[in-house]
Amino acid sequence: MTPFRFICLSLLVVSLTVGGVGRAATALTPEQQSLLKGGRRFERSGWIYLHIQGEPRQRGFQRGYLLAHEIAEGIGTAQADWQHQSALDWPWLVSRATAMFLPKIDSENLEELTGMSEGLRAAGMQFSRDDLITYNAMIELSWYWWPGEAKRLRDGSPAPANGPKESCSSFIATGSFTADGNVVLGHNTMEDYCDILPRVVEDIVPAHGHRILWQTSPGWIHSGTDFFITDAGLVGSETTIGGFDGFDTNGVPEFIRMRRATQDAGSLDEWCDIMKRGNNGGYANAWLLGNVNTKEIARLELGLKNVGFEKKRDGYFTGSNIAEDPKLLRYETSSDETDIHSSCVARRVRWKQLMQESKGRINASLAKQFEGDHFDTYRGKLQPSGRTLCGHFELDPEPDKPWPGVPYGCAGTVDAKVVDAPMAKQMSFAARWGSGCGTPFSARKFLTAHPQFDWMEGTLKDRPAEPWVQFRAGE
């Protein structure tokens, strides 16, 4: 067994100061000890595994207490990113995010957020429920709400380009394309290396609804990377729809809809129906979904005004940040599906090549290779870049637009995950932290070579080479 560090109640001591809000953890009361009962964490090959269970407040308390250090660090990163992006302070954002989102959050998710704030306070971290709402909504706020708000604050003049990041590479296949005729899913996350890193594997056993095993970031009640398995036999991932423009401040936030769909849905259709209810356009994604009990796969492309949906028992869907639905592509994005210089189009071409070359043979082993693939279809050769499925913008002197948009952009793939039907039925998946190909990243080496990014000093983290490992629910 791979060595790991297990942290339980008797060993956990948290003391960290972030923005002046930290204090030493205090002894738990009998009620707090009861709330913490059943929660546990350990670390393995770069990942943090977290198990939480029970009623909403209890689950939230367990997450807040057991991940207090990482949540504080994550909120500190969010604050730094926000202030760099907007030149506005964190309380300004919290007040507006809370006013916009609080009335739309269901009672169960709200209680879990409240419990998480309580757990953080018990561990010595003074973060409010409103801080956590804002933190959970950072993708929607930064990529979808803020561009329009910035334009308004500039008296209607054009704001700097700051739309959705065209990131993540995913596929799902079934039927004649896979070795066993059932579902195989692979996904990797491409993001700015100084962002909140999604290195938590979370096992959620709610008092009501379906058990969930997913990847997430510390302190999020949703996934964010959206790679998940449930005990209903559902698996899923997504890739952001690139070049997207649209946001409804009156809608239900995506992070709430995604959590409700994953915990409550027993079928692909039900999952998609929940996601569409109250859609605010935030975090507009192409969702790749599968049901290992029926061997079905589906793709839900959820824009604001246009929705694309397909379902099949034979074939594949891929995701590389270019919309497939014609109306969504033409009327809600600025993307050109023929521009192979673009990362999303170059990766789309590569996915089609791999699917056809591997028809009838796709399994978990091949899926791991796909997520670490370095063939650049724009250049026509093996060369790690922002256009390869395993993205390496940090190595690329010829950047894609609009993200990251600069030479040697500090961004790329930070993980890879794979699940097939036998794994899903046991609620397990294989994962690799660091990059899909296993290439290590040194923050000091990068900043020395590219001092134009010196503002990332202190937030940019190393990601050493890590092996593929397997996680399952109930560890």
Per-residue 3-state assignment (H helix, E strand, C coil) for 248-293: CCCCECHHHHHHHHHHHCCCHHHHHHHHHCCECCCCCEEEEEEECC
Boundary (domain end) residue, out of 103, 126, 153 = 153
Q: Is the distance from CB of 466 to CB of 432 less than 8 angstroms?
A: yes
Number of domains observed in the structure of the chain: 2
**What letters, b where the CB count within 10 A reaches 16 and e where it falls short, cover 331-343?**
ebbebebeebebb
Helix (H, G, I), strand (E, B) or coil at 16: coil
**Is 159 inside a domain boundary?**
no
Same domain membership, residue 110 and residue 63: yes
Identify whether 164 is part of a domain: no
| Contact status, residue 321 vs residue 391, Cβ threshold 8 Å | no
Parent domain of 11: 5-153
The owner of tokens 């975090």 is 283
Residue 192 falls inside a structural domain: yes
The answer to the question of residue 161 being in a domain is no
Query: What CATH number is given to the structural domain containing 146?
Result: 1.10.439
289 and 203 fall within a common domain = yes
pLDDT in tens, the chain (475 residues): 333 333 333 333 333 333 334 445 569 999 999 999 999 999 999 999 999 999 999 999 999 999 999 999 999 999 999 998 999 999 999 999 999 999 999 999 999 999 999 999 999 999 999 999 999 999 999 999 999 999 889 877 665 555 688 789 999 999 999 999 999 999 999 999 999 999 999 999 999 999 999 999 999 999 999 999 999 999 999 999 999 999 999 999 999 999 999 999 999 999 999 999 999 999 999 999 999 999 999 999 999 999 999 999 999 999 999 999 999 999 999 999 999 999 999 999 999 999 999 999 999 999 999 999 999 999 999 999 999 999 999 999 987 778 898 999 999 999 999 999 999 999 999 999 999 999 999 999 999 999 999 989 988 999 999 999 999 999 9
Tokens of 262: 């994953």
Q: What is the pTM of this model?
A: 0.93
Residue 162 within any structural domain of the chain? no
Q: Where does a domain end: 124, 153, 182? A: 153
Extract the tokens encoding 117: 């704030």
**Do 135 and 176 belong together in one domain?**
no
| Cis ω for the linkage preceding 402 (within 30 of 0) | yes
Let me know if residue 137 belongs to a domain: yes
| No. of helices (H) and no. of strands (E), the chain | 15, 20
